[in-house]
Structure 1
Amino acid sequence: MSCARRAGPVRPLIFAGGLLGAFYAYWLTHGTAAAEQPKVLATPVHDVIDRAPLQTAVFAGGCFWGTQGIFQHVTGIVSTKAGYAGGTAETATYELTETGTTQHAEAVQIVYDSRKITYGKLLQVFFSVAHDPTQLNKQGSDVGTQYRSAIFPQTPDQAKVAKSYIEQLDADKSFQSKIVTTIEPGKAFFAAEAFHQDYLVHNPTQPYVAFVEQPKVDALNKLFPKLWKDQPLLTTDNRG
């Protein structure tokens, strides 16, 4: 079941804190094994040296609502967009991507100011708090290749640094299991429908958001306080 299938009408979390709320949270966040919890991972040994201020990164790590919501609070980000990467323009819709047959992953395009934050730091945030990179073709109860952990490098240098960082984390045994994140260069990004943009900001009491995605944003604030900015950058604020 996908994140959007759980959207429904926005309503207060009348069962939050109760037994039903606890069960709902457990059901959403557990697959066949407990997910890795957010934690501060090592800084990448190697990083991209960008020659121009504005650069683009594209990451996929489960439901794009949460991934976008996290990076909207990171200092140095110029714009974010939820969307699809890995497939073709013809299949870049939610309805088709949800089938798991399009090669698309729910992804987020991030334009960042390289004078304020580096690609390596974005990778550190992505692997530390945005998702569990050891879950193959799933995140919690979101199952399918559309929820895979993937990096879509925009330059050869990004691809090299991403590969090096994954090797670094595996060598350090940063997770209990091996990282399964794929590196997929040469794949275009397509923006998702307006409904999916800024979803965490517009739907804070939606149960899936409150129990699954918002805790990741809270983890960013706790684990990376120097990167945190209180006001999320909305797509309507985007300059990129």
Structure 2
Amino acid sequence: MSERRETATLAGGCFWCTEAVFARLRGVMEVMPGYAGGTALNPTYEDVCSGSTGHAEAVQIVFDPEEISFEELLDVFWQTHDPTSRNRQGADEGTQYRSAIFFHDPEQQEVAERSLRRVAERKLWPGHIVTEVVPLTTFYPAESYHRDYYRLNRDQPYCRIVIDPKVTKLFRQFPDKLKDPEQ
């Protein structure tokens, strides 16, 4: 791995799901679940779940751009959640589960907008893509009990029913991008 590090912030529904997917990618050094896109200072999980803060459950991904690019992260993002479902992913419903790319600089904005156009043109999803492409203002890390949730709780029904299929899809569609195909 090189010494270079970049950060991406993505929201694709439940952050347990998103963390479980991106943590398995080669070139990803860290994935932190948290909250982005809202107005309240230092929100808690309960605050965000109430829908009153405007935050989305998101992950902040620290990655080595020489091993995996921001554009490649977005390729995985588009395939592992439903970007046509407004304010929900499966049974998880509310603005905190919206699809969003929180860009860190103008270059990420350009890459994100181009990636969104490409996915829409290819008709990867049957409906209209509702993913927001917005600047990151502040990211608040989630409480410690949310970190590495899937790895620590794989036998929980939510993990087996909701997260396992996303991880399986990642293995099937992106085997060449995995740190370890046996994870």
TM-score, length of structure 1 as denominator length: 0.72
What is aligned with 2:49? 98
- 1:91 is displaced (CA, Å) by 4.5
After superposition, where does 1:138-153 map in structure 2 within 5 Å? 138-153=88-103
Pick aligned residue for 1:156 from 88, 106, 109: 106
Contact 1:93 1:193 in 2 (8 A): yes
Q: Distance in 1 between matches of 2:36 and 2:180?
A: 28
Q: Distance in 2 between matches of 1:202 and 1:88?
A: 31
Q: Distance in 2 between matches of 1:83 and 1:140?
A: 20
What is aligned with 2:84? 134
- 1:175 is displaced (CA, Å) by 1.1
Matching residue's letter, 2:126: Q
Matching residue's letter, 1:147: Y
The answer to whether residue 71 in structure 2 is matched with residue 120 in structure 1 is: yes
What is aligned with 2:22? 71
Q: Distance in 2 between matches of 1:202 and 1:91?
A: 25
- Quick check: which has more Rg, 1 or 2? 1
Contact 1:75 1:116 in 2 (8 A): yes
- 1:88 is displaced (CA, Å) by 4.0
Change over 3 Å in CA distance of 1:112–1:89 after alignment to 2 = farther
Contact 2:42 2:140 in 1 (8 A): no
Shifted more, 200-209 versus 159-168: the winner is 159-168
SS at match of 1:178: coil
After superposition, where does 1:171-186 map in structure 2 within 5 Å? 171-186=121-136
Contact 2:9 2:102 in 1 (8 A): yes
SS at match of 2:118: helix
Contact 2:171 2:181 in 1 (8 A): no
Q: Distance in 2 between matches of 1:185 and 1:232?
A: 36
What per-residue deviation string (whole Å, max 9, x for no partner) do you get for residues 59-110 of structure 1?
Answer: 0011000100111100000111000001246242101000111110000000
SS at match of 1:222: helix
Matching residue's letter, 1:173: K
Pick aligned residue for 1:80 from 9, 31, 34: 31
What is aligned with 1:191? 141
Q: Distance in 1 between matches of 2:10 and 2:134?
A: 10
- What is the alpha-carbon root mean square deviation over aligned residues? 1.7
Structure 1 unaligned blocks of 5 or more:
1-51, 234-240
What per-residue deviation string (whole Å, max 9, x for no partner) do you get for residues 165-194 of structure 1?
Answer: 111111222210010000110421110001
- 1:232 is displaced (CA, Å) by 9.8
How many residues of Structure 1 are paired with residues of Structure 2 in the alignment? 181
TM-score, length of structure 2 as denominator length: 0.94
Pick aligned residue for 1:167 from 117, 135, 143: 117
Change over 3 Å in CA distance of 1:225–1:97 after alignment to 2 = same
Q: Distance in 1 between matches of 2:28 and 2:177?
A: 10
Contact 1:80 1:108 in 2 (8 A): yes
Structure 2 unaligned blocks of 5 or more:
none
Greater fraction of residues in strand: 2
Q: Distance in 1 between matches of 2:52 and 2:175?
A: 39
Once the two structures are aligned, what percentage of the paired residues are identical? 45
